[in-house]
Structure 1
Amino acid sequence: MHELSIATAIVEQAGELAREDGTDAVAAVTVRVGELAGVVPDALTFAFEVARDGTPLASALLVVEQVTAHAYCAPCAEEFAVGMPPFFWCPRCDRPSQDLRSGRELEITAIEPVPAPP
C-alpha cells in the first residue's frame, strides 16, 4: 500500500509547514488528489491515521478533495472529463487529446492550526 508512504510524507511536510507558521499543533490537513494520481482516497485517509500517530498531527484530520481528470481538445477548444478508466477522445469532434489539464494532482492545499485557547 503506497498510500502509507504518501501519508507519511504528508504528515512530515504538514508538520514542517506548521512549524514555519509558528505552531506545531495541527487540526486538519487538506490535500487535493487527482483521479489519475494512482491514490485511493479511502486508503490514504486510513494510512494518514496510522502515520500521524505519535506526531504533532496525532489528532489532525485529513480532508481529501478529489479532482476530476479533464483533457483539452485544441482543434475544437473543448475541455472534457476523461473518466475512469481514462478515455482521451474528444466527445465533440471524436479526435484524441494529448493535453491533460487536471487529474494528476497530489498536493497539500491547506493546513489548519489548532485554535489557541481563549
Structure 2
Amino acid sequence: MHEFSIVQSLLTMIEDYAREHNAKAVSRIVVSIGVLSGVEPHLLEMAFNTFKEGTIAEKAEFVMEIENLKLRCRDCGKEGKKEELNMVCPFCGSLNTEITAGQDMLLKSLELEVDDDNPS
C-alpha cells in the first residue's frame, strides 16, 4: 500500500514546515487528492491516523478534498470538469483533450499552533 509511504513523506514535510515556523502543534491539514492520482482516500486516511501518533500532527484534523478530472479540449478550446473518468470532451465529444487537473495530490494548507510570545 503506497499510501503509507505517501503519509510518511507528508508527515516529514509537515514537521519540517512546523519546525521552520516554531509551531508547537499542527491542528489542521488539508490535502487535495485528484481522482486520477492513484491515491485511495480511505487508505490514505487510515495510514495518516496510524503514522501521526507521536508526531507534531498527532491531534490534527485531516481534511481531504477530492479533485475531479478537468480537461481542456484541443478541438473546441473549452475546459471543463468531468465526473466520468474518461478523456472525452464534455462539450464536443472529441478525444483530442489534455488533463489540466485531477491527477495530483497536493498539501493545500496547514494550521499551526504557535506560542503567542514566539510568532512566526
Q: Structures share a fold, TM > 0.5? A: yes
The CA distance in 2 between the partners of 1:12 and 1:63, in whole Å, is 18
The CA distance in 1 between the partners of 2:15 and 2:114, in whole Å, is 16
Superposed structure 1 runs of 4+ greater than 4 Å apart: none
Which letter does structure 1 place at the counterpart of 2:64? V
State the aligned residue count: 116
Q: In structure 2, do the counterparts of structure 1 residues 24 and 98 end up closer, same or farther at CA, with 3 Å as the change threshold?
A: farther
Q: CA deviation at 1:97?
A: 3.0
RMSD, aligned α-carbons: 1.7
After superposing the two structures, state which structure 1 stretch, 30-39 or 88-97, moved more: 88-97
Instruction: Please give the TM-score of this superposition, normalised by the length of structure 1.
Output: 0.87
Aligned ranges 1:93-112 → 2 under 5 Å: 93-112=92-111
Aligned ranges 1:1-118 → 2 under 5 Å: 1-84=1-84, 86-114=85-113, 116=115
Contact 2:87–2:97 (Cα < 8 Å) also in 1: yes
Identity, in percent, stands at: 28
Which has the larger strand fraction?
2
Q: CA deviation at 1:76?
A: 0.9
Give structure 1 stretches of 5+ with no counterpart: none
